Amino acid sequence: MVEISLQGAIVGEAGDSFEVKIDDAEKVSALKKAIKDKKLNEFKDVDPNKLQLFLSKTADGRWLLEESETAQKLEGGESVPQIMEMIAKNKMLSSWT
């Protein structure tokens, strides 16, 4: 297994980008637990399996780049159409690795 670093954000929350480290062979359910552990205050009353995670892939299948206008708007707390499209199409299942 290889440890990877993932960047996350809470949609609609300005300046709430965060990093989580996890082994690349772990399931999404383990990622949810790692996110809850990282963001204890935000998710103190939320069970990890209730978190909804989404791949940040654009309409053309590319990863959302941190320097893109869409990513900057996400970091600023805006829920622009591109973000809502990612949410509609890219939900991660807990069983995925």
pLDDT tens, residue by residue, 18-28: 999 999 999 99
For residue 55, what are the contacts with CB-CB under 8 A and spacing of at least 6?
A: 86, 90, 92
At 1 the pLDDT is 81
CB-based burial label for 74 (10 Å; 0-12, 13-18, 19+):
buried
pLDDT in tens, 55-83: 999 889 999 998 999 999 988 988 889 98
pLDDT in tens, 34-56: 999 999 998 999 999 999 999 99
Instruction: Tell me the CA distances in angstroms from 29 to 1, 19, 25, 36, one per residue in order.
Output: 17, 17, 12, 11
Q: 3 is written with which tokens?
A: 């440890």
Cβ pair 90, 56 in contact under 8 A: yes
Q: What are the sequence ranges of the domains in the chain? A: 3-89
At 23 the pLDDT is 96
